[in-house]
């Protein structure tokens, strides 16, 4: 009897420890509004509307070779600085990033989103948490410890809305594993570019488990149909042919697919009728990584009147 009680007590203590380690989530709601942050010393963007808006999308891998490894501080900063130089070189106006650390032990507590924005001299950033826990006891040889990571949008132009919509996680995850795993998400951010507003939708689907990803694609379609605007950009990784087909069918005339040049990972890119994508190509952004650069042009602007000829036509 005593042995049974001791075993039960040990099991309860282990369960309590796992629940504590997997806790510490900033947001638990399925859909919630996020905070838009401003860097005080950064300059304000011009109030004029640019003819072309350059958007760069990247998966930073948390500044590491893989999410399950660590790196020296020097290697970490070298990777981030190479990315920052690439962003400046392509003349990006907006950066959309996934797999970025906010305050994780594996990357020395560095807020990578703020670091990038400060280095670029950009004023605004919006973050969405996708991976949080107090202590990740994995991998066994080098436990990652505290995790705080996610995705974000940065720009010198004002960001006026930040919404995170959580998608369904894999149903095949072992018991309690969901406490320690990143979860799929859609981040919605509005970028105010003078008189025009671009609605950005950055989607992070599950990299594995095709059945779950198909389910997430349908949830993504349902969400986008609710929030899509004419000047809208939807972008995300893991754009398999099946995912793109589901998005194309579900979104219909709301958003149209964009053809992406070969040279990087599979992506899905869709735009609304208020913008057109003149070019979509992958560019090197350091450490053997590539990022997607999109050149967008407005098809119409609020208050814009077409020029009339002498006959009034």
Residues 113-134 have pLDDT tens digits of: 999 999 999 999 999 999 999 9
Between 7-11, 67-71, 234-238, the lowest mean confidence (pLDDT) is in 67-71
251-277: pLDDT as tens digits: 999 999 999 877 667 899 999 999 999
Q: What is the pLDDT of residue 309?
A: 38
List the domain boundaries for the chain. 2-298
162-196: pLDDT as tens digits: 999 999 886 566 667 778 888 899 999 999 999 99
Q: What is the mean pLDDT of the chain?
A: 89
Q: What is the pLDDT of residue 175?
A: 65
Q: Is the pLDDT of residue 30 over 90?
A: no
Task: Tell me the C-alpha distance between 107 and 78, whole Å.
Answer: 13
What homologous superfamily does CATH list for 2-298? Endonuclease/exonuclease/phosphatase (3.60.10.10)
Q: Is the pLDDT of residue 301 over 80?
A: no
The verdict on whether omega for the bond into residue 139 sits within 30 degrees of 0, i.e. cis, is yes
Q: What is the pLDDT of residue 54?
A: 98
pLDDT band at 307 (very low <50, low <70, confident <90, very high): very low
Q: What is the pLDDT of residue 173?
A: 63
Q: How many CB atoms lie within 10 A of CB 270?
A: 22
Beta bridge pairs of residue 164: 32, 187
**285, two tokens:** 């952004």
Q: What is the pLDDT of residue 58?
A: 96
Q: What is the pLDDT of residue 28?
A: 73
Q: What is the pLDDT of residue 46?
A: 87
**Which bin fits 208, alpha (ψ -120 to 50), beta or left (φ > 0)?**
beta
* Global pTM exceeds 0.95: no
What are the φ/ψ torsions at residue 215 (nearest 5 degrees)? -65, -40
239-257: pLDDT as tens digits: 788 888 999 999 999 999 9
Q: What is the pLDDT of residue 171?
A: 57
Q: Is the pLDDT of residue 85 over 70?
A: yes
Q: What is the pLDDT of residue 29?
A: 83
Between 25-29, 30-34, 185-189, the lowest mean confidence (pLDDT) is in 25-29
Q: Is the pLDDT of residue 83 over 50?
A: yes
- Which among 127, 116, 52 is positioned nearest to 83, based on CA atoms? 116
């Amino acid at each position: 009897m005593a042995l049974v009680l001791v075993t039960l007590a040990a099991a309860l203590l282990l369960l309590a420890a796992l629940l504590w380690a997997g806790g510490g989530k900033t947001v638990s709601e399925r859909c919630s509004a996020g905070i838009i942050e401003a860097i005080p010393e950064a300059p304000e963007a011009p109030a004029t509307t640019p003819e072309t808006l350059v958007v760069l999308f990247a998966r930073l891998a948390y500044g590491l070779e893989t999410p399950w490894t660590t790196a020296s501080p020097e290697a970490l900063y070298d990777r981030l600085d190479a990315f920052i130089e690439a962003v400046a070189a392509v003349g990006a106006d907006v950066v959309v990033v996934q797999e970025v650390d906010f305050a994780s032990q594996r990357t020395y507590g560095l807020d990578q989103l703020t670091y990038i924005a400060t280095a670029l001299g950009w004023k605004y950033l919006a973050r969405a948490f996708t991976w949080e826990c107090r202590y990740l006891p994995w991998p066994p040889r080098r436990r990652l410890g505290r995790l705080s990571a996610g995705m974000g949008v940065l720009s010198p132009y004002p960001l006026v809305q930040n919404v995170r919509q959580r998608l369904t996680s894999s149903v095949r995850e072992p018991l309690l594993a969901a406490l320690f795993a990143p979860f799929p998400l859609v981040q919605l951010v509005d970028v105010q570019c003078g008189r025009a507003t671009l609605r950005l939708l950055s989607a992070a689907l599950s990299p594995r488990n095709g059945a779950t990803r198909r389910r997430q694609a349908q949830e993504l379609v349902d969400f986008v149909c609710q929030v899509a605007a004419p000047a809208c950009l939807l972008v995300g990784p893991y754009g398999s042919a099946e995912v793109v087909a589901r998005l194309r069918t579900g979104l219909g005339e709301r958003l149209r697919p964009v053809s992406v040049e070969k040279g990087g990972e599979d992506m899905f890119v869709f735009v609304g009728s208020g913008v057109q994508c003149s070019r979509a190509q992958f560019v090197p952004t350091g450490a053997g990584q590539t990022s997607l650069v999109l050149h967008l042009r407005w098809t119409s602007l609020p208050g814009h009147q077409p020029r009339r000829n002498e006959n009034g036509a």
